């Protein structure tokens, strides 16, 4: 029997070295939450890399800071979901995303008196830090969030399939929220040089191949009963809705959330098989600190609840 494109991908690309550890973590997390009948969401976040050498010095990257995924993960926790946060290593994470760079250290004060040293939080920062710290501690202590990280597109593909294997048992209660920016092109393992390319050999000609579309087996085979939401990123407005509709028609999942790179923080378009409508933040809302992920997640959760209810009525 001939292998499909995606089967061949797994047959010819090794899993990441820590794959079995991550698989155990995923299984343990899912078994526990399935027992207590939690709703679970897989949030993917950040961009995948495409290495140009096996011993990787250079790679091609996909744009994504991880804001969409990390902010959304926090809002899913607020809605009572158990969250698998599958993210690009070193991209933004829930809770810590609020304090990037030196911001966190600037909130602390150092007191040295004789041999003893204490550290306190600057009183002006307590009101900012306390609610975030509270939510973080709650999520950790109640084990409502699992952090899993990837770097390359191959790591991402292996972890995505492993997560789906665990999520399948949740049937309709599983939500997939695929916000990661995943490479469309890569260099297959057998076409990649082992060592760092040498400039002495002249300018290299790099030939990329298509990454198989994993949404196809994901939606039809791995989690056929789940509520699957994918994101569509474009830079050309005229392609946004047609490309999103093409994706829905092809993979038969539930929802595409479409966005344009430059306006993604204040405008998205929800594209379903029957409708399309815009969600946006006004200037005032954005200035007041409202994040678009809050209404996005509220709308997705409402749709997921309707989906669960209609499945249980049948
Ligand atoms: C998105 O469109 C995300 O909303 C962003 C978020 C990556 C724009 P940030 O992390 O940005 O907040 O800086 N993600 C999906 C991107 C993607 O690769 N989609 C594929 C495509 O458009 C198919 S699922 O072809």
Check pocket membership of 97 for ligand 1, CB cut-off 6 A: no
pLDDT in tens, 220-254: 999 999 999 999 999 999 999 999 999 999 999 99
Q: Ligand 1 centroid vs 98 CA: distance in angstroms?
A: 21
pLDDT in tens, 14-69: 999 999 999 999 999 999 999 999 999 999 999 999 999 999 999 999 999 999 99
Q: Give the mutation target among 73, 243, 264 for probing the ligand 1 site: most ligand atoms within 8 A of CB.
A: 264
pLDDT in tens, 155-193: 999 999 999 999 999 999 999 999 999 999 999 999 999
Check pocket membership of 67 for ligand 1, CB cut-off 6 A: yes
pLDDT value at residue 4: 77
Going by alpha carbons, the residue nearest to atom 3 of ligand 1 is 179
pLDDT in tens, 107-128: 999 999 989 999 999 999 999 9
Taking 60 as the threshold, does the pLDDT of residue 201 lie above it? yes
Taking 80 as the threshold, does the pLDDT of residue 268 lie above it? yes
Taking 50 as the threshold, does the pLDDT of residue 1 lie above it? no
Is the complex ipTM higher than 0.90?
A: yes
Check pocket membership of 259 for ligand 1, CB cut-off 6 A: yes
Name the average pLDDT for the chain: 96
Check pocket membership of 160 for ligand 1, CB cut-off 6 A: no
Please compute the mean of the pLDDT values over residues 80-106 and round it to a whole number. 97
pLDDT value at residue 269: 98
Please compute the mean of the pLDDT values over residues 144-156 and round it to a whole number. 98
Please compute the mean of the pLDDT values over residues 211-216 and round it to a whole number. 96
Going by alpha carbons, the residue nearest to atom 16 of ligand 1 is 181
Ligand 1 atom with the smallest distance to the CA of 232 is: 22
β-strand 209-210 against 185-186: which pairing, if any? antiparallel
pLDDT value at residue 120: 97
Check pocket membership of 233 for ligand 1, CB cut-off 6 A: yes
Check pocket membership of 183 for ligand 1, CB cut-off 6 A: no
Domains and CATH numbers, the chain: 5-313 (3.40.50.10300)
Taking 70 as the threshold, does the pLDDT of residue 2 lie above it? no
- % of the chain with per-residue pLDDT over 70: 99
Q: Give the mutation target among 68, 75, 88, 279 for probing the ligand 1 site: most ligand atoms within 8 A of CB.
A: 68
Taking 90 as the threshold, does the pLDDT of residue 313 lie above it? no
pLDDT value at residue 189: 92
Going by alpha carbons, the residue nearest to atom 20 of ligand 1 is 232
């Amino acid at each position: 029997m001939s292998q499909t494109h995606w089967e061949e991908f797994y047959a010819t690309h090794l899993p990441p070295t820590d794959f079995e550890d991550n698989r155990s973590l995923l299984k343990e997390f899912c078994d526990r939450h399935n027992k207590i009948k939690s709703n679970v969401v897989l949030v993917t976040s950040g961009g995948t890399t495409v290495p140009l050498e096996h011993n990787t010095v250079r790679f091609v990257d996909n744009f994504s800071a991880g804001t969409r995924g990390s902010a959304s993960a926090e809002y899913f926790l607020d809605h009572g979901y158990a969250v698998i946060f599958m993210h690009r290593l070193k991209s933004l994470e829930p809770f810590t995303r609020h304090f990037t760079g030196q911001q966190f250290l600037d909130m602390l004060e150092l007191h040295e008196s004789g041999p003893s040293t204490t550290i306190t939080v600057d009183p002006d920062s307590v009101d900012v830090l306390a609610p975030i710290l509270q939510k973080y501690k709650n999520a950790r202590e109640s084990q409502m969030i699992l952090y899993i990280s990837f770097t390359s597109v191959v790591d991402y593909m292996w972890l995505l399939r492993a997560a789906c294997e665990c999520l399948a048992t949740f049937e309709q209660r599983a939500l997939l929220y695929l916000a990661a920016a995943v490479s469309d092109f890569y260099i297959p393992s057998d076409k990649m040089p082992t060592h760092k390319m040498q400039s002495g050999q002249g300018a290299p000609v790099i030939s990329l191949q298509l990454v198989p579309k994993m949404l196809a087996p994901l939606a039809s085979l791995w989690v056929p009963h789940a509520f699957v939401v994918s994101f569509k990123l474009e830079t050309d407005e005229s392609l946004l809705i047609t490309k999103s509709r093409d994706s829905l028609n092809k993979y038969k999942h539930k929802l595409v959330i479409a966005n344009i790179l430059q306006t993604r923080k204040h405008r998205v378009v929800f594209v379903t098989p029957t409708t399309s409508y815009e969600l946006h933040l006004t200037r005032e809302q954005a200035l007041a600190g409202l994040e678009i992920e809050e209404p996005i997640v509220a709308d997705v959760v409402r749709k997921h609840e309707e989906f669960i209810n209609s499945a249980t009525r049948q």
